[in-house]
Structure 1
C-alpha cells in the first residue's frame, strides 16, 4: 500500500522553524498490523525539506510521521503496541507463534526485545500494599515481593528482605 503525507510544510528538527522548500523525497517502508490475516507493508513517500534559516546546523531534514511511526522505526506504532501486548501475554516462542497466526510475524528474540525496551506503564498510587517474602534458596537467600492488593498487581521484586532497600526506593 502506498501513501504520502499531505502537509504543505514541515518543521525543521533542529530549529523548529517551518519550511515549504522541498529538497527531494525517498520511499520509506513500514510494517503495519495485518488485514484479513495478511501482513501489510506501507510504502510512504517522505519528503526532504531544506531549512531556510542560515544559522541552523541542519541543511535538510525529513518530514516526521507523528502518531504513525518514530523516525528510525521500520514498524508503525500500532504494530509495535500489538507486538508488545503479545510479548507481555505470552513471551518468547509462544508469542512468536501466536503473532504469526495473527499475520504480524516477529521472531522470539525481537519480541522479547520489544517488551524490554518499551516504556513501562506508570504505577498508580498504592493504597493497600502487601509485603511477602520467599526463599530463592531455602535457608540461605530470600526475596521480597510487593503487591497492590486492590488492583492485584505485582509492584516490585526485591533481591532480599533487608529494610535498606525500602529506604532507598
Structure 2
C-alpha cells in the first residue's frame, strides 16, 4: 500500500442532508439563489467566484443536493476534473443525457403521448389523406393525368 494514500481524504463524500455543518451561514445564500432561479423564465448560468479555499466546491455540492431534493434538475460539472478534454460541449451534452436518462418517467410519459396521438389519428388517416388529396386536386396542384387517375 502506498503510504501517501493514507493521508489523502476522499473528497467525494455523499451529501444526504444539504448544508449540514454549515458554519458560515451559506444555506441562506443557497436559499436566495434558489429563489432567484425559481423566478427565471429561461435558463441561466451562475458563476461563483472566490479565492482558493473559500468553500466554493462545498457550497455548490450542498446547493446542488438541496436543489435535487426539491425536484430541480441539476447538472454539476467539475471543470478541473474534465480539464483534459478539448471539447466542453461533449462534457455538457453527456451530463444532460445522463440527467434525461435518469428521468425515465418523463421519457415514458412522452412515449405514451406519442402512441396515444398515433392511435387517435390512425383510424381517421384514410379520410384525412382523401380530404387532403381532394383539396390539392381542386387547387390544381396535381397534373391532369393524376387527377384523371384519382
Which has more helix, going by share of residues?
2
- Class of the TM-score when normalised by the shorter of the 2 chains: under 0.3
The answer to which structure, 1 or 2, has the higher relative contact order (CA under 8 A, 6+ apart) is 2
Q: TM-score, normalised by structure 2?
A: 0.23
Which has more strand, going by share of residues?
1
